[in-house]
Amino acid sequence: MEEEKSGTHDRSGRTRRETGEDGRVERRPGEEIDRSRPVAFDFEGKRFSGYEGDTLASALYASGLRIFTRSSKYHRARGLFCVSGRCANCMVNVNGRPNVRACVEPIREGTVVKHQNAWPSLDHDVYSSIERMGRFMPVGFYYKTFINFPWEWKRVRSSMRKLAGLGSLDDELADWKKSAESGDPRSPSPRMDDKAFDQEFMHADVAVVGGGPAGIFAALEAGRLGARVVLVDDQASLGGHLRYDDGEIRLEPSTGEGRYSGRRASQLANELSDAVSQREGLTVVSGATVFGLYESNLLGLVRGNRLIKLRAKQVVISTGAHERFSVFRNNDIPGVFPASGLQRLIRLYGVRPGRSVAILTDGDVGLDVARTLIGAGIGVSVYADSRTGVDLDEPQRVLGGTGAVILSGYAIIESLGKKKVEGATLVRIDENGRAIEGSERKFVCDTICLANSLEADTSLLYQAGCRTVYDVEVGDFIVSGHPASVHSCGGATGIHDLSTSLLQAKVAGLRAAVSLAEGRAGPEVKTARDDLETYSKDLRESESRYRERVRAWKLKLSAAVSGYGGGRGAIATKSFVCICEDVVEEEVLRAISEGFDDIETLKRYSTLSTGPCQGKICLLPSIGLCARETGKSIPQTGRTTSRPPYLPVTMGALAGSELHPTKLTAMHYKHLELGAAMMDLGEWKRPHAYGPVGEEYAAVRGAVGVIDLGTLGRLDVRGKDTPRLLDFVYTHIFSRLQPGKSRYGVICDDAGIILDDGTVTRLSEDHYFVTTSTGNVDFVEQWLEWWIAAQNLDAHVTNLTDGLAAVNVAGPRARDLLKKLTRIDISNEAFPYMNSAEGLVAGVPSILLRIGFVGETGWEIHFPAEYGEYFWDALMDAGKEFGVRPFGVEAQRVLRLDKKHIIVSQDTDALSDPFEADMPWIVKFEKDDFVGKAALAAIKRAGPRRILVGFVMDAGMAHDGDQVYSSDGGDKLIGAVTSARLSPSVGRCVGLALVSSGSTRDDGSLRIMTQGKLSEARVTLRPFYDPDGKRLRS
């Protein structure tokens, strides 16, 4: 035996004692580790090492670790079990990433691994004392206890959560989340490899799920007519059970692959894997789990931290099978393995699982394990086949002379030991599959191998919509009722015979290929069709031979699915049905006796099969128990529903990479240069203010100000029905608007509710320029397109928002400023209020709109975004002599409030109509029909229930959202403040409030609850500043 470093770490004493010299067996062909390349990592603060090709679990096991986790409820010691990433027994925290399955996580140099759900250590877990309280926590404990003491639940919830369940996110991530929530965008995100998630889209003609022999053959056949095939496998390398099986391959000649007969399984795995890699058009995705099969054949895959959405035209499911679990006393302790788990450890990673193994089998799997063990120099203490009167010649040949006791008609009822297996108690089984009392025999061993018959992995088939029904003769779930584009083969179909599987695979692959070639002719298509027919016929024969072969003993087996031991044992020797959720046989029996005797209600009440393995271990045992206790057959009992995800999926993978889409205006970096405080508005960044808001306000009122309006939505609408479209969608009339004129408009839905507002400018007869509020342009575009489709109009909408920059130049000196930059006549006579023009400004082609949102002489100028910074500089240079200042969103909010100009969704809510918004003039009932006309007519008849009014505070400040009370005393709440600001022009706080109509009149009064105090305010129906609009028209 080689001298290996891996087993000689600082706990080497224990390692030697438990696993022999170095924890590894002699090197054998097929091994997937490279013993010349050690890899070091950190576990619980100590240095460990393994080899390249090892998983964390195999390296840790070889180094002597036996307890990998503590169970979720009773904190019982749990060790490696499935060794294939299906169960929850080896979940650890890797580099801060919780719930990583150590048995499928490749070791990487320097990885930091920690245990979960135990304190202070896995070996000595204080919480394991909970188990002694198990008798006080019967099935349905939470429901029963806390329904009477709901307040208690609140008290104990947090400590319960700490005790139960699995891993937790590490503190670093929690800290980061906190700082991210506090709105500090500069906080560094913990973007280590293990926390960076992303997504990928893949497309395939055929997706094959499962890289075992069946999946490989299906993939090869599916590609025969040129289809693009993607083969997905959850293991590190292809080959499925061939990688660790120990027998010789024997294939029926009808498979057409007879040449492989006589090969060793691992050799065949390599040959098939080579064939796959040489095939063009065949892509392999290894180490990826398909967790869901969704509509239109969308497959959800997770591969490490990457989510892959794979869309396929045809799907072949060959997810294989796993050994069924056995229910017996103490069946969950470290050292109990399914045969494949044990074989993977020995054959793939060269790990010595123990010194003396008890093999419990009911078929041929036990023999294969026996060969593996003997070949690896590991002792077998007992080999027991639960079938009575079965021929024992073959086991004798394999195990004769090794000292192993060979039995038939015996099954396990208890494993001995507390934190690891120390022995096994077997019992004789009668003809009906029941234990014969008094026939117990005890054997000393340190490992128990459950070499049970296989159970098909039907979850994905179930998700695909297939029927999966337990067939007593075959002893497994048999699949039928495939949707047209879904095919299956291999162990997943409930048939466990390599020859039959290969025929199934060829049929499935060819069916997919032929369906894709529908309508195609040619010799290769014809050959494929002929082959499909031949293989289908051969498959039928092969399948019936299989049924014949297994019928007798599988019938008997079905009686024993539930296990042989009685469930009512001492607390310390529980019989586990579901090891993820810690559900024991006794609890299941009690639940059934309480009336939860339907498999689906039993699942919900007892939490059976709701843990991380999603029923992969406990599905059949729980059905078997339910059947036994209710006196029904297994098919009558049915099965629980399989839903996505097949395995737990990290939330991060679903969330994808951390992206915050942000839109920047064309002048964004100018604002940053000026030191503007930026704010978020939808996806946009906008300057909130450049300095003191009062100075910006004063510049606009007294000189000239410039604001970046690049965030406004801009739509170009043209086509001969455009006037009709706009008349129909807006409440105002735009067909009568003269070319060159602009008008304010409001869009309502058919309930009369305001959706958006903006200006509409007629550029020419059939050509309009429409602006929308910031962040709402996509909606308005869709809304216009909808009515174009619904009314069958000839009009075309183009969204110009991202292509155009815009500014508003406003103030008494705005004209002086612009005069320096343009030859367009902008005198009040030539270019009055609500007019538009197209021409050059600062040499840049622009659309100018004379609009007065802030209440001064002003022009909204739209121009190509690429001139943004140049244009900005030109304005600032030209305006210097007039005292120009940039102003931000906050100044604009005060300026527009002076004028009582509303902001949709700030001063309106999801129920506001134009009458409530105090704009009755904007609804033109004389039009034939328009969106919202009927509803608005009804509202007009009944009168609005609320009204938006302006108010001026006598003293004090109101704030957005403050409550408004009527002035006639009492505490009658009549509405809320929608906007309130201190207006420098008025010298007091002014605002808008949405209040019940009738509760107020012009010059009436209101009381506003602001900061816990009621303050008087006076209602003002006219604008607070320049009520006659003389300034903006000058």
Q: Give residues in contact with another protein (CB under 8 A).
A: 294-296, 298, 309, 311, 749-751, 781-782, 785-786, 788-790, 792, 797, 928-929, 933-935, 938
Which residues, including other chains, have CB under 8 Å from residue 13's CB and lie 6 or more apart? none
Helix or strand run (H / E) with residue 143: helix 141-146
The whole-angstrom separation of Cα 34 and Cα 32 is 7
- Answer yes or no: are the C-beta atoms of 488 and 472 closer than 8 Å: no
In the complex, least distance from residue 751 CB atom to another protein, rounded to whole angstroms = 5
Token pair 């629980």 is found at: 640
In the complex, least distance from residue 929 CB atom to another protein, rounded to whole angstroms = 5
Q: With both helix axes pointing from N to C terminus, report the angle between 498-516 and 213-222 in degrees, rounded to the nearest 10.
A: 30
The DSSP 8-state label assigned to residue 351 in this structure reads: B
Neighbours of 553 (CB within 10 A): 18
Which residues, including other chains, have CB under 8 Å from residue 529's CB and lie 6 or more apart? 514
Instruction: Please name the amino acid found at residue 406.
Output: I
Q: Which is nearer to another protein, 547 or 940 (CB)?
A: 940
In the complex, least distance from residue 993 CB atom to another protein, rounded to whole angstroms = 28
- Answer yes or no: are the C-beta atoms of 864 and 959 closer than 8 Å: no
Q: Which is nearer to another protein, 665 or 731 (CB)?
A: 731
In the complex, least distance from residue 773 CB atom to another protein, rounded to whole angstroms = 19
In the complex, least distance from residue 782 CB atom to another protein, rounded to whole angstroms = 6
Q: Which is nearer to another protein, 171 or 295 (CB)?
A: 295
In the complex, least distance from residue 115 CB atom to another protein, rounded to whole angstroms = 37
**If you write DSSP's letter for every residue of 552-579 in order, what string do you get?**
HHHHHHHHTTT-SS-S---GGG-BEEET
- Answer yes or no: are the C-beta atoms of 957 and 982 closer than 8 Å: yes
Q: Which is nearer to another protein, 469 or 935 (CB)?
A: 935
In the complex, least distance from residue 440 CB atom to another protein, rounded to whole angstroms = 53
Specify the pairing of strand 885-886 against strand 705-708: parallel
Would you call the peptide bond into 38 cis, given omega within 30 degrees of 0 as the criterion? no
Q: Which is nearer to another protein, 483 or 998 (CB)?
A: 483
Q: Which is nearer to another protein, 939 or 995 (CB)?
A: 939
Would you call the peptide bond into 648 cis, given omega within 30 degrees of 0 as the criterion? no
- Answer yes or no: are the C-beta atoms of 796 and 719 closer than 8 Å: yes
Structure tokens at 187: 């906080």
In the complex, least distance from residue 301 CB atom to another protein, rounded to whole angstroms = 13
Cross-strand partners of 339:
none
Q: Which is nearer to another protein, 299 or 513 (CB)?
A: 299
In the complex, least distance from residue 201 CB atom to another protein, rounded to whole angstroms = 9
Q: Which is nearer to another protein, 571 or 934 (CB)?
A: 934
Q: Which is nearer to another protein, 99 or 297 (CB)?
A: 297
In the complex, least distance from residue 284 CB atom to another protein, rounded to whole angstroms = 23
Q: With both helix axes pointing from N to C terminus, report the angle between 213-222 and 265-278 in degrees, rounded to the nearest 10.
A: 30
- Answer yes or no: are the C-beta atoms of 724 and 927 closer than 8 Å: no
DSSP three-state, residue 936: helix
Which residues, including other chains, have CB under 8 Å from residue 442's CB and lie 6 or more apart? 416, 423, 424, 425, 426
- Answer yes or no: are the C-beta atoms of 616 and 320 closer than 8 Å: no
Structure tokens at 980: 């309130």
Q: Which is nearer to another protein, 15 or 722 (CB)?
A: 722
Q: Which is nearer to another protein, 309 or 419 (CB)?
A: 309
In the complex, least distance from residue 663 CB atom to another protein, rounded to whole angstroms = 17
Q: Which is nearer to another protein, 533 or 785 (CB)?
A: 785
In the complex, least distance from residue 604 CB atom to another protein, rounded to whole angstroms = 23
The DSSP 8-state label assigned to residue 474 in this structure reads: T
Q: Which is nearer to another protein, 874 or 935 (CB)?
A: 935
In the complex, least distance from residue 805 CB atom to another protein, rounded to whole angstroms = 23
Cross-strand partners of 1019:
951
Q: Which is nearer to another protein, 174 or 790 (CB)?
A: 790
The whole-angstrom separation of Cα 469 and Cα 465 is 13
Q: Which is nearer to another protein, 291 or 576 (CB)?
A: 291
The whole-angstrom separation of Cα 148 and Cα 168 is 30
How would you classify residue 231: left for phi > 0, otherwise alpha for psi between -120 and 50, otherwise beta? Answer: beta
The DSSP 8-state label assigned to residue 345 in this structure reads: I
The whole-angstrom separation of Cα 678 and Cα 82 is 55
In the complex, least distance from residue 749 CB atom to another protein, rounded to whole angstroms = 8
Q: What sign does the dihedral 333-339-341-342 (CA atoms) show?
A: positive
The whole-angstrom separation of Cα 60 and Cα 50 is 8
Q: Which is nearer to another protein, 107 or 931 (CB)?
A: 931
In the complex, least distance from residue 233 CB atom to another protein, rounded to whole angstroms = 22
Q: Which is nearer to another protein, 901 or 933 (CB)?
A: 933
Q: What sign does the dihedral 1010-1012-1018-1019 (CA atoms) show?
A: positive
DSSP three-state, residue 634: helix
Q: Which is nearer to another protein, 896 or 933 (CB)?
A: 933
The whole-angstrom separation of Cα 55 and Cα 45 is 18
Structure tokens at 928: 């034939």
- Answer yes or no: are the C-beta atoms of 409 and 386 closer than 8 Å: yes
> What is the rounded radius of gyration, in angstroms, for the C-alpha atoms of the chain?
38
In the complex, least distance from residue 785 CB atom to another protein, rounded to whole angstroms = 6
In the complex, least distance from residue 930 CB atom to another protein, rounded to whole angstroms = 9
Neighbours of 38 (CB within 10 A): 17
The whole-angstrom separation of Cα 688 and Cα 690 is 7
In the complex, least distance from residue 786 CB atom to another protein, rounded to whole angstroms = 5
- Answer yes or no: are the C-beta atoms of 459 and 319 closer than 8 Å: yes
